[in-house]
Structure 1
Amino acid sequence: MTSDNVPKPRYQEHPRMFADEPGRFILACLLVPFVIGIVWLLVWYVKTKCTLLTVGDERVLLTRGVFNKERLEIELESIRTVRIDQTFVDRIFNCGILKIYTAGDNPELVQGGMPDPERLRSALRV
């Protein structure tokens, strides 16, 4: 199978650094002259780029981790509830906190800073 035959995911994004936590981002930028901010931003950037949420035709896949990988896979059929929480700042920057419930009262998957929550919500509708 060639790469041309691979279906394009409905949604595939990394969390946003600044939009997820603008206060923390500004604090890190203020600490740049003391080198602590550079290290903080670099570590945060790498962690953000090593987190990927993919919604395909059959499942949701969340991959996290730099050295140790965590992969959480949920079948779309087993999703009971999708919740996207947005603070006022999240609404300004068009991002939100994704919570997916499959069974029980606790979310199976929680990921903050996900861009374009309306597109994400529509991708999760079966």
Structure 2
Amino acid sequence: MGLPDHHLTEGERVVLSFHPHWKRLIMPFLALIVVVAAVGAAFFLLPGDYEYAGYAWIAVGVVAFVALVLWSIIPFLRWRTTSYTLTSHRFAISVGVLNKSEDDIPLAKVNSVSSDQKFIERLLGCGTLRVESASEKGEIDYRDIPKIQLVRQELFRLVEDASDGNIDGR
């Protein structure tokens, strides 16, 4: 997870590396349960002596497979392949299952760091991290960041160190 060592520059170290919060997996998990329950009910309710029972079971299986892929497997893979890495020099974001998109924000270009948390997010310990940088993208929101206060604190500390020219406390 995160940046491999060979992608780090000289003197750069990984401070934090994480995936989005697990709350993103609640709906895919519920979809998995609903699809499995629906398939079980369909197989139970389809009469075995029905002339086209074999075709009906195949149709139920195909529909269930497609539903599982779209509603459970793809969201899980998106969650799994999304990673946030905070290093001593940059904030790196990597997203993508088949196609990969990577975005690096140099800490020296970060103007401000803030966070937002709804009530449920406060209970779960996650939130939205807002990073404003002196780049063409400007203000960027990263949703579902786990341990949002720790991430914000570390990012702010590293930004302050970068603005002072003080890397790794030196």
User: Which TM-score band (shorter chain)?
Assistant: 0.7 to 0.9
Count of residue pairs brought into register by the alignment: 120
Q: Which residue of 2 aligns with 1:100?
A: 131
Measured after TM superposition, the shift of residue 78 of structure 1 is 0.9
Structure exhibiting the larger radius of gyration computed from Cα positions:
2
1:30 to partner: Cα distance: 4.9
Shift of 1:20: 4.2
8 Å CA contact 2:21–2:146 kept in 1: the answer is: yes
| 1:44 counterpart SS class | helix
- Corresponding residue of 1:120: 151
Q: Does 1:32 align with 2:35?
A: yes
Q: Give me the whole-angstrom Cα distance separating, in 1, the residues matched to 2:77 and 2:18.
A: 15
Q: Which amino acid letter does the alignment assign opposite residue 38 of structure 1?
A: L
Q: Which residue of 2 aligns with 1:9?
A: 14
| Residue 91 (structure 1) aligns with | 122
CA distance in 2, matches of 1:49, 1:26: 14
CA distance in 2, matches of 1:64, 1:108: 18
**Equivalents in 2 of 1:102, 1:14: separation in Å?**
22
Greater length-normalized contact order (CA 8 Å, ≥ 6 residues apart) = 1
Answer whether contact 1:20 1:95 (CA < 8 A) is retained.
no
Q: TM-score, normalised by structure 2?
A: 0.60
RMSD: 2.7
Report the TM-score, using the length of structure 1 for normalisation. 0.78
Q: Is the 2:25–2:75 Cα contact (8 Å) retained in structure 1?
A: no
* Kept after mapping to 2: 8 A contact 1:47/1:66: yes
Identity of aligned residues (%): 24
Instruction: Indicate the SS of the match to 1:72.
Output: strand
